[in-house]
Amino acid sequence: MDATLVAELSAALSPDRVHTDQLEQVLYGRDASLMRGDTGVVCFPLTTAEVQACIRTALRHDRAVVPRGSGTGLAGGAVPLEQPVLIVTTKMTDIEVDVDNRVAWVQPGVINLDLTRHLRPLGFHFAPDPSSQQSCSLGGNIANNSGGPHCLAYGVTSAHVVAVEVVLPDGELTMLGGLGADPAGLDLRGAFVGSEGCMGIATRIAVRLTPNPPAVATLLADFVEPAHAAAAVSAIIAAGVVPAAIEMMDQRITQAVEAFVGAGYPIDAGAIVLIEVDGLPGGVAAETAKVREVCMAQGARSVRVAADEAERMLLWKGRKTAFGAVARVKPNYYLHDTVVPRTKLLDVLQQVYAIADRHDLIVMNVFHAGDGNLHPLLVFDAREPGILDRVHAAGEEIVRASLEAGGVLSGEHGIGLEKQPFMALQFTQPDLDAQARLRDAFDPDGRCNPAKVLPQGSRCGDLAHLDAHHRERLLADGVWV
Partner 1 sequence: MSAGHGPLAPLPDRVVRDPALLAFADEVGGVDAGPVAIEGGRTQWHLGGHCEPGTRLVRAPAGVVAFEPAEMTIQVRAGTTLDELDAALEPAGQRVALQGLPGTATVGGVLSVGLSGPTRLGHGHLRETLLQARYVSAEGLLVTAGGATVKNVTGFDLCRVLVGSFGTLGLLGEVILRTRPRPQAAAWLSGPADPTALFDRLYRPVSLLWDGATVWLYLEGYPEDVEAQTAIALEAGLVPVDGPPPLPSGRHSAEPAALRSYRPDAPRSGRFVAEFGVGVVHGEWSGPTQAPPDASVVALNGRLKNLFDPTGRLNPGRDPLTPSNGKADHR
Sign of the dihedral defined by the CA atoms of residues 145, 146, 149, 154, in that order: negative
Using CB under 8 A as the binding rule, whether residue 184 contacts partner 1 is answered as yes
Using CB under 8 A as the binding rule, whether residue 81 contacts partner 1 is answered as no
Exactly one of 366, 412, 448, 451 binds partner 1 (CB under 8 A); which one? 412
Q: Which of 162, 182, 175, 239 is nearest to 202 (CA)?
A: 175
Amino acid at 298: Q
Select 299 or 457, whichever has its Cβ closest to partner 1.
457
Select 210 or 255, whichever has its Cβ closest to partner 1.
210
Q: How many helices (H) and strands (E) in the chain? A: 17, 18
Using CB under 8 A as the binding rule, whether residue 438 contacts partner 1 is answered as yes
User: Are 449 and 466 contacting, i.e. CB atoms less than 8 angstroms apart?
Assistant: no
d(CA 115, CA 201): 20
Task: Identify residues 101-140 at the interface with partner 1 (CB under 8 A).
Answer: 101-102
Exactly one of 241, 346, 369, 448 binds partner 1 (CB under 8 A); which one? 241
Exactly one of 2, 38, 311, 440 binds partner 1 (CB under 8 A); which one? 440
State in angstroms the smallest separation of the CB of 25 from partner 1: 25
State in angstroms the smallest separation of the CB of 261 from partner 1: 26
Which residues touch 452 (CB under 8 Å, ≥6 apart)?
A: 76, 77, 196, 197, 198, 415, 416, 417, 420, 462
Using CB under 8 A as the binding rule, whether residue 380 contacts partner 1 is answered as no
Site pattern 141..170 for partner 1 (x: CB under 8 A): ---xx-x---x---xx-xx--------x--
Exactly one of 18, 379, 415, 448 binds partner 1 (CB under 8 A); which one? 415
Using CB under 8 A as the binding rule, whether residue 51 contacts partner 1 is answered as no
The CB-side HSE value for 206 (13 A sphere, CA atoms) comes to 18
Cα-flanking dihedrals φ and ψ of residue 11, to 5°? -70, -35
State in angstroms the smallest separation of the CB of 410 from partner 1: 5
State in angstroms the smallest separation of the CB of 378 from partner 1: 15
State in angstroms the smallest separation of the CB of 447 from partner 1: 15
Which residues touch 330 (CB under 8 Å, ≥6 apart)?
A: 362, 379, 380, 381
Task: Identify residues 274-333 at the interface with partner 1 (CB under 8 A).
Answer: 279-283, 285-286
Q: Would you call 212 exposed, middle or buried from its count of C-beta atoms within 10 A (0-12, 13-18, 19+)?
A: middle
Select 266 or 283, whichever has its Cβ closest to partner 1.
283
Using CB under 8 A as the binding rule, whether residue 49 contacts partner 1 is answered as no
Q: What are the Cα distances from residue 220, in Å, to 84, 242, 249, 280?
A: 47, 16, 11, 20
Sign of the dihedral defined by the CA atoms of residues 333, 337, 338, 342, in that order: positive
Using CB under 8 A as the binding rule, whether residue 181 contacts partner 1 is answered as yes
Binding residues with partner 1: total (CB under 8 A): 104
Exactly one of 182, 307, 385, 476 binds partner 1 (CB under 8 A); which one? 182
Cα-flanking dihedrals φ and ψ of residue 87, to 5°? -105, 105
* Stretch binding partner 1 (CB under 8 A), from 19-27, 112-120, 134-142, 240-248: 240-248
Task: Identify residues 214-233 at the interface with partner 1 (CB under 8 A).
Answer: 214
State in angstroms the smallest separation of the CB of 471 from partner 1: 9
d(CA 114, CA 91): 14
Task: For the chain, report the end-to-end CA distance as a whole number of angstroms.
Answer: 25
Using CB under 8 A as the binding rule, whether residue 176 contacts partner 1 is answered as yes
Using CB under 8 A as the binding rule, whether residue 407 contacts partner 1 is answered as yes
Select 376 or 407, whichever has its Cβ closest to partner 1.
407
State in angstroms the smallest separation of the CB of 324 from partner 1: 23
State in angstroms the smallest separation of the CB of 330 from partner 1: 21
Select 22 or 282, whichever has its Cβ closest to partner 1.
282
Task: Identify residues 191-210 at the interface with partner 1 (CB under 8 A).
Answer: 191, 193-195, 198
Q: What are the Cα distances from residue 5, in Å, to 11, 38, 188, 308, 347?
A: 10, 17, 32, 56, 54
Cα 256 from chain centroid? Answer: 22
Select 190 or 266, whichever has its Cβ closest to partner 1.
190
d(CA 250, CA 269): 8
Using CB under 8 A as the binding rule, whether residue 385 contacts partner 1 is answered as no
Exactly one of 267, 289, 441, 464 binds partner 1 (CB under 8 A); which one? 441
* Stretch binding partner 1 (CB under 8 A), from 8-16, 326-334, 359-367, 405-413: 405-413
Q: What are the Cα distances from residue 149, in Å, to 234, 245, 252, 273?
A: 16, 5, 20, 12
Amino acid at 2: D
Amino acid at 302: S
Task: Identify residues 340-379 at the interface with partner 1 (CB under 8 A).
Answer: 340-343, 368, 371-373
* Stretch binding partner 1 (CB under 8 A), from 8-16, 126-134, 318-326, 423-431: 423-431
- The DSSP call for residue 357 is H
Give, for 389, the enclosing helix (H) or strand (E). Answer: helix 387-404
* Stretch binding partner 1 (CB under 8 A), from 59-67, 303-311, 379-387, 453-461: 453-461
State in angstroms the smallest separation of the CB of 114 from partner 1: 23
